[in-house]
Structure 1
Amino acid sequence: MKNRSSLLFAFAFTFFSFISCTKEDSLAATDNSPVVASASIDLVNELDIKTGNQISFEKLTGKQTGKSLTASCATVTVDPVTSAFPKTFYIDFGTGCTTNGITRKGKLKVTFSNYITQTGSIMTIERVNYYVNGNKAEGKIEYKNTTVSANTPQWTRTVTNGIFTDTKGEVYLNSGTHTIKQTAGVSTLTLDDNTYEMTEGTHSVSKQNGAKITLTVLETLVKNYNCDYVSKGKLKVESVLLNGTIDYGNGDCDKDAAYTQNGIVFPFTM
Structure 2
Amino acid sequence: MKKTAFLLLSICATALIYVSCSKDDVINQTDPTAVGASVAIDAANQMDINTGLLVANSAATAKSAANVSGICATITVSGTTYPKVFTVDYGTAGCADNQLTRKGKLKITLSGPVITTGSKLTIERIDYSINGIKLEGTIEYTNTTTVATVPQWTRKVTNGKFTDLQGRVYTNSGTHTVKQTAGVDTPYVLEDNVYEMTEGNHTVTTEKGATLTLTVQETLVKKYSCTYISKGKLKVEGGFLKGVVDYGNNDCDNKFTYTHETGVSYNLEM
TM-score (norm 2): 0.88
User: What are the residue-to-residue correspondences of 1:105-124 with 2, within 5 Å?
Assistant: 105-124=103-122
Asked whether 1:89 is paired with 2:99, we answer no
For residue 239 of structure 1, report the CA deviation from its aligned partner. 1.1
Q: Aligned match of 1:143 in 141, 144, 156? A: 141
1:229 is matched with which residue? Answer: 228
Summarize deviations over 1:154-198 as a string: whole Å, max 9, x none: 000110000000111000010010000000000014111000111
Percent identical: 51
User: What are the residue-to-residue correspondences of 1:232-247 with 2, within 5 Å?
Assistant: 232-247=231-246
Moved more, 54-63 or 122-131: 54-63
For residue 84 of structure 1, report the CA deviation from its aligned partner. 1.4
TM-score (norm 1): 0.88
1:24 is matched with which residue? Answer: none
For residue 250 of structure 1, report the CA deviation from its aligned partner. 1.3
Decide whether the 8 Å contact of 1:156 with 1:180 is kept in 2: yes
Describe the SS at the equivalent of 2:247: strand
**Cα RMSD (Å) of the superposition?**
2.1
Unaligned runs of 5+ in 1: 20-26
1:60 aligned partner, one-letter code? A
In structure 1, how many angstroms separate the alpha carbons of the residues matched to 2:28 and 2:193?
A: 45
Moved more, 186-195 or 144-153: 186-195
Asked whether 1:155 is paired with 2:153, we answer yes
1:31 is matched with which residue? Answer: 31
For residue 61 of structure 1, report the CA deviation from its aligned partner. 2.4
Decide whether the 8 Å contact of 1:4 with 1:268 is kept in 2: no
Summarize deviations over 1:102-139 as a string: whole Å, max 9, x none: 22221111001111111111110000111112111100
Describe the SS at the equivalent of 1:3: strand
In structure 2, how many angstroms separate the alpha carbons of the residues matched to 1:30 and 1:72?
A: 38
Aligned length: 255
In structure 2, how many angstroms separate the alpha carbons of the residues matched to 1:101 and 1:269?
A: 17
Unaligned runs of 5+ in 2: 10-15
Decide whether the 8 Å contact of 1:69 with 1:75 is kept in 2: no
Asked whether 1:8 is paired with 2:18, we answer yes
More relative contact order in 1 or in 2 (CA 8 Å, sep 6+)? 2
Describe the SS at the equivalent of 1:93: strand
In structure 1, how many angstroms separate the alpha carbons of the residues matched to 2:263 and 2:192?
A: 36
In structure 2, how many angstroms separate the alpha carbons of the residues matched to 1:165 and 1:130?
A: 11
For residue 2 of structure 1, report the CA deviation from its aligned partner. 7.6
